[in-house]
Amino acid sequence: MNVPDAGSPSVRILLCDDHAVVRAGLLALIGSEPDIEVVGEAGTGEEAVAAAAKLKPDVVLMDLQLGPGIDGVEATRRIAGSGVHVLVLTTYDTDADITRAIAAGATGYLLKAERPEELFAAIRAAAQGRTALSPPVASRVMSQLRGGSRPALTPRELDILAQLANGLGNREIARALFISEATVKTHLGRIYEKLGVDTRAGAVSVAKEHRLLP
């Protein structure tokens, strides 16, 4: 383990996970590293966005599934947009999750099954703006890059597609993503065109074939 000199500044991180027990475990684990300091915790996406703006951490350790409110991807988009590095730490490794998180601006994507040493290294890398990916995630990303035939959907289109797969109607999708119904309809039209379909069921079916959905 590479430990920096005593005079080296600490990497300041914010933890975001909706499970208090998980946050407590991470806090205890990270506390063993002299150069990494937890400066705050958040249990929801909204709390994470607010805490990141207030505390200005070097890295936000972000889970993807956060219960009610905005999810980890939307929180990542808002936080990364302010210049703070976000390292996703999750149990989810589907193509859709990885694509959405990276498209939202995540600096790295780590699975909770990784060893502590890998987590510490990823935090330090993310603090420097370097990409950190779990090996299974890196393999999926490379496969996607080599594929070339996958429909190129924008992060927002992927968000809407995910809501569509959950059976939500246009009005419900608009409320969930804080956009207008007209905007939802516009995005749906583009999704249909890119996927070569003309129905909601067709869009979900083709998206699953291309592994754009979990």
Parallel/antiparallel/unpaired status of strands 85-90 and 59-62: parallel
d(Cα 52, Cα 49) in Å, to the nearest integer?
5
Q: What is the mean pLDDT of each run of 10 residues along the chain (214 residues)?
A: 51 96 94 93 96 97 91 94 94 80 90 92 94 81 58 87 92 94 94 85 82 77
Residue 178: both structure tokens together: 């804080």
User: Would you say 212 and 158 are in contact if contact means Cβ atoms under 8 Å apart?
Assistant: yes
> Closest by alpha carbon to 126, among 56, 60, 71?
60
Max Cα distance, the chain (Å): 62
Q: What is the pLDDT of residue 172?
A: 95
d(Cα 86, Cα 26) in Å, to the nearest integer?
16
Q: What is the pLDDT of residue 93?
A: 77
Q: What is the pLDDT of residue 205?
A: 82
Q: What is the pLDDT of residue 3?
A: 44
| Neighbouring residues of 161: CB distance < 8 A, sequence distance ≥ 6 | 153, 191, 203, 204, 207, 212, 213
- pTM beyond 0.85: the answer is no
The amino acid at 5: D
